Amino acid sequence: MKIKDILLVLEEMAPLAYAEDFDNVGLLVGDAEAESTGVLVCHDALETIIDEAISKNCNLVVCFHPILFSGIKKITGRNYVERAILKAIKNDIAIYAVHTALDNHSAGVNKIFCNALGLVNTKVLIPKQDFIQKLVTYTVPENAQKVRQAMFEAGAGTIGNYENCSFNSNGTGTYQGNEESNPVIGERHELTETEEIKIEVTFEKHLQSKILKALFASHLYEEVAYEIYTLQNSHQNIGLGMIGEFETEMEEKDFLHFVKDKMIADGIRHSAFLGKKIKKVAVLGGSGSFAIKNAIQAGADAFLTADLKYHQFYEAENRLLLADIGHFESERYTKNYIVDYLQKKILNFAIILAEENTNPVKYL
């Protein structure tokens, strides 16, 4: 199996188009055409992880955090990033990062976080904007089903828990071909009127080229009329953070002890107790201070995230319990999810969970 075949499975799990614009996801180091000897899954692709990959004969490291995040002009081994990259290159080891591509997935980082806590009735906290497009096209009735089905198979027409969604209306189309035309219905230079069906479907924007290819391949006409719009609708199933509920509410202190146990956190920093029960909880794995207001607006009793600064605890505004459980801790089960996913999709192949603990934060 080539590395590129494994990358296809990873992109099914976490489409790269879901990643934030600032991020650096996908294949960071290595040759996708190389034969893979095994996959090592980790949180951070440090030099020690590359050593582990070498010892376990894995030439593909799948990490959550991208080891290459901001631009570098030299690779001389002067810091931990450059040392890891150098060792990977010297040993023909590829590195692939998922990061916010999996953060934004409805089954990704924050759903994993919610599942670890036993939250139910979960939904995305900050739905992704400017990600839904609409395609409108026109064809004769006898061609409509073929066109619709082709676009559905390419990924169009999915809305939440529903598939094969479209809107269709009847009308009259007119056209007149020139000397170079070859009309399927009518003749050159002849004004033709024909009954047509207007087909409208929505889709995630990264599927545009695939859907257009399906449209052109299935359409009857020589020239295909179509329009594409970007919608202002937010995508309710893609986005950062998640909010859910406990089946049974609990006291604030009991809640934090529960979180500490479930997320294996060595310490939790939190805002002042408010003397109210915790039932509705917002989570955002990793650095999530930007979502405090979203958690408040969503009516959360508590918001769990990481990397909060001193003054950001004031932003709780005595409206919710704000807790920093640690960056690594809030994402700790992500690598387990990736391993499980790959093992289900790629049978009889070495998919290994790294043993090295890459959490750089220690506690007394």
Give per-residue pLDDT as tens, 252-286: 999 999 999 999 999 999 999 999 999 999 999 99
Q: What angle do CA 300, 18, 209 make, to 5 degrees?
A: 145
> Do residues 121 and 132 make contact, with C-beta atoms less than 8 angstroms apart?
no
What is the structure's pLDDT at 161?
87
Q: Do the annotations mark residue 82 as ligand-binding?
A: no
Residues 6+ apart with CB under 8 A from 261: none
Q: Could you give the CA distance from residue 181 to residue 160 in angstroms, rounded to a whole number?
A: 41
Side by side, the strands of the sheet bearing 278-287 are: 120-128, 235-250, 278-287, 302-306, 321-324, 269-270
Rounded mean pLDDT of 242-249? Answer: 98
Q: Over the chain, what is the mean pLDDT?
A: 96
Is residue 13 pLDDT above 90, yes or no?
yes
Cα dist. 207→108, 212, 232, 336 in Å?
20, 9, 17, 28
| pLDDT more than 90, % of the chain | 97
Give the pair of three-digit tokens for residue 64: 């959550």
Rounded mean pLDDT of 197-217? Answer: 97
Q: Do the annotations mark residue 65 as ligand-binding?
A: yes
Longest dimension (CA), the chain: 85
Q: For domain 3-99+333-353, say whether CATH 3.40.1390.30 is its number.
A: yes
Residues 6+ apart with CB under 8 A from 290: none
Q: How confident is the model at residue 160 (pLDDT cuts 50, 70, 90)?
A: confident
Q: Could you give the CA distance from residue 331 to residue 43 in angstroms, rounded to a whole number?
A: 9
Strand partners, 127: 239
* CATH number at 106-128+239-330: 3.40.1390.30
Q: Could you give the CA distance from residue 361 to residue 364 in angstroms, rounded to a whole number?
A: 10
Q: What angle do CA 234, 237, 238 make, to 5 degrees?
A: 75
Q: Could you give the CA distance from residue 111 to residue 25 in angstroms, rounded to a whole number?
A: 20
What is the structure's pLDDT at 72?
87
Q: Could you give the CA distance from residue 69 to residue 24 in angstroms, rounded to a whole number?
A: 6
Q: What angle do CA 97, 133, 98 make, to 5 degrees?
A: 5
Topology alike, domains 3-99+333-353 and 106-128+239-330: yes
| pLDDT more than 70, % of the chain | 100
Q: Do the annotations mark residue 331 as ligand-binding?
A: yes
Q: β-strands 302-306, 278-287: how paired?
A: parallel
Please report, for the chain, the start and end positions of each structural domain, with discontinuous segments joined by +: 3-99+333-353, 106-128+239-330, 131-231
- Tens digits of residue pLDDT in 167-181: 999 999 999 999 999
CATH of 131-231 given 3.10.580.10, 3.90.600.10, 2.60.120.1440, 3.30.70.120: 3.30.70.120
Nearest-CA neighbor of 205 among 140, 293, 132? 132
Q: Do the annotations mark residue 103 as ligand-binding?
A: yes
Q: Could you give the CA distance from residue 217 to residue 200 in angstroms, rounded to a whole number?
A: 17
| Residue spans of beta strands (DSSP E) within the chain | 26-29, 39-44, 60-65, 94-97, 120-128, 132-139, 167-175, 192-204, 226-230, 235-250, 269-270, 278-287, 302-306, 321-324, 351-353
Rounded mean pLDDT of 61-67? Answer: 97
- Tens digits of residue pLDDT in 133-151: 999 999 999 999 999 999 9
- Tens digits of residue pLDDT in 78-130: 999 999 999 999 999 999 999 999 999 999 999 999 999 999 999 999 999 99
